[in-house]
Amino acid sequence: MRRPDQREDHSRGSSLTPWLPVLAAMAIMVTGCLSTFLVLQLDEFRPKVGDIVVFKPGSEDTDTWQMAIPATVVSAVGASVTNCTLDPNMMATDGGSLVVEGRREEPALSYRVHWAGSRTAKGSETCGPAADITVSRTDLQRLANAAGGFGVEDKGIVR
């Protein structure tokens, strides 16, 4: 003989069954709408023309960043002149800044920036004390992270 409470548990589970496809469809729609919204907002996080990355001279709060970022020196008309390297540690030694002057979407997202400072790397790999250079979006973000972000405000640790 079956107990009555067993039959009630079975009937409660079956009443939810017709709603499962509706709930799944709603979850898919909400996920799709949220994903679309977030992808459209990604442009907000990209560097913009006029943004600046400042490397303060001899800053003691910065960590040692072990990276060498490839860059291309460009002429006034935008033609590639030579390749060089950006080393955040070297750029922070005497200080300097990168100003975003332009953005190019094709063939890949890249930025034209102007460097002003003493040097960007050791030896012949340096871009020089002032240069217009092209870097990828990822590399520009890495440089900004090494300097403490975009902007000129104090980014050191408050003591």
Alpha helices (runs of H) in the chain, residue ranges in sequence order: 4-16, 20-41, 88-94, 137-147
Q: What's the pTM?
A: 0.66
pLDDT in tens, 2-31: 555 555 555 555 677 888 999 999 999 999
Please list, in sequence order, all residues whose beta carbon lies within 8 angstroms of the beta carbon of residue 57, skipping any fewer than 6 positions away: 92, 93, 94, 95
For 35-53, the pLDDT digits (tens) are 887 776 666 677 889 999 9
Torsions phi, psi of 113, nearest 5? -125, 155
Average pLDDT score over the chain: 81
Distance CA 20, CA 33 (A): 20
- Spell out the domain ranges in the chain: 4-42, 46-147
